[in-house]
Structure 1
């Protein structure tokens, strides 16, 4: 399958449960634990641990129906607003948030987070904090001037985006345009946290290959600086999860704040 025939996540969608099972489960043959679970959780814990990133509103715009990146910020934000570009991902996420039968099991990721924090806290308490904070899950359209039209979002103290820009950006100009649109939702001085997958061209869900933007750490850094951000943390990790499902070379974590 050539790059021109690969599907686009925001246009075609994918099986959200299958995506989680392939890349985020605790199955023995799931080889991405270090890249897609431990690395992001570890860096979110480090970024939030000092306690200076906090506030009323956090926006999450991430790929699929991910939860594991929200454990750390749930300690510091009253309201987490989760925005998705696909209805199926909203339904999958709400199963977990509402503790419905058949929801994806995130207990293994919760344990990773709790162990990294070094706190004696029940896993249910940590998941409960995420559920308590994440009361708003809604669909958005990043191609609209107001992505929540007609609803006006409150200015965010922090925005988190995990791999979404990688999947919806057809080229680097698209990435810059979407990043700019997202950053406009931040308060002056607000924080932006990105998790990216570097030097990737595709990822697979079921029988379908999906487009992924190919970029490196240098491009991500320069783009953020050009958009008026000061980078506080930037760390990358060479890929250890080797699989024909995806051809990434590394994963990236960036925490930055918007100049006032």
Structure 2
């Protein structure tokens, strides 16, 4: 298939439940667990347990309706504000946050988080804590000057963005432009945590194939530096997953801070 015919996540949207089932579930055929669940959860735990990253507001800008990237963070921020590009993703996420019947079951990710953290007896407390610190799920549009207009958000102490830039960027110019918007939403000295995939050209959700921005480690390092970020930690994990759903080569985890 010609890549120019691929759909765009932020333009066409995708089935958010199907996306979760493909890439974040506990189904036997879900082969990405080491990259999409274990690797991020382990690194987020290590990042937040140092106690250096904390504050009043964390903003999450992540693809689809995933929440597991927030389990480690919820103890360290008064409020977590989640931004989503589509109504479908917002509805899927709210099913989970409101504990509705039919919500996606994140029990396997909570269990993994507990095993890594060594407190498996407090799993329900973790889900309750996460739900209690998310006051708002807000729709955004990267093409607006204020992406959440008419809502004006407070500047964040930390932004987590998991796989979002991979799916919304057409090219390097988009990546730079959107990263600049992230910077404008952060306090001076605030932290940016990026989770992404190197070398991806497409991802599949259901029967539809979506565009993915292809970039490498050198590009992301140079771009962060050019936009005023200092990288504190950079981890890359080579994938061992074999699937026709997506063609990434590495999963990356980056912690950077915005220079004052």
Using the size of structure 1 for normalisation, the TM-score is 0.99
Deviation at 1:187, TM superposition (A): 0.2
Please tell me whether residue 184 in structure 1 is matched to residue 188 in structure 2: no
Please tell me whether residue 43 in structure 1 is matched to residue 22 in structure 2: no
Counterpart for residue 132 of structure 1? 132
Deviation at 1:190, TM superposition (A): 0.2
Task: State the Cα deviation string for residues 187-232 of structure 1 (Å, max 9, x = none).
Answer: 0000000001110000000111000000011111111111111111
Moved over 4 A (4+): none
Supply the distance in 2 between the matched residues of 1:171 and 1:104 (Cα, whole angstroms).
32
Supply the distance in 2 between the matched residues of 1:62 and 1:83 (Cα, whole angstroms).
8
Counterpart for residue 243 of structure 1? 243
For the residue of structure 2 that corresponds to 1:215, the secondary structure is coil
Please tell me whether residue 142 in structure 1 is matched to residue 142 in structure 2: yes
Supply the distance in 2 between the matched residues of 1:67 and 1:18 (Cα, whole angstroms).
15
Please tell me whether residue 104 in structure 1 is matched to residue 101 in structure 2: no
Deviation at 1:121, TM superposition (A): 3.5
| Cα root mean square deviation, aligned | 0.7
Supply the distance in 1 between the matched residues of 2:120 and 2:27 (Cα, whole angstroms).
26
Counterpart for residue 152 of structure 1? 152
Supply the distance in 1 between the matched residues of 2:241 and 2:142 (Cα, whole angstroms).
30
Counterpart for residue 230 of structure 2? 230
Task: State the Cα deviation string for residues 30-86 of structure 1 (Å, max 9, x = none).
Answer: 100001000111111111110110000000000000110000110100100000011
Using the size of structure 2 for normalisation, the TM-score is 0.99
Deviation at 1:89, TM superposition (A): 0.3
Counterpart for residue 208 of structure 1? 208
Counterpart for residue 21 of structure 1? 21
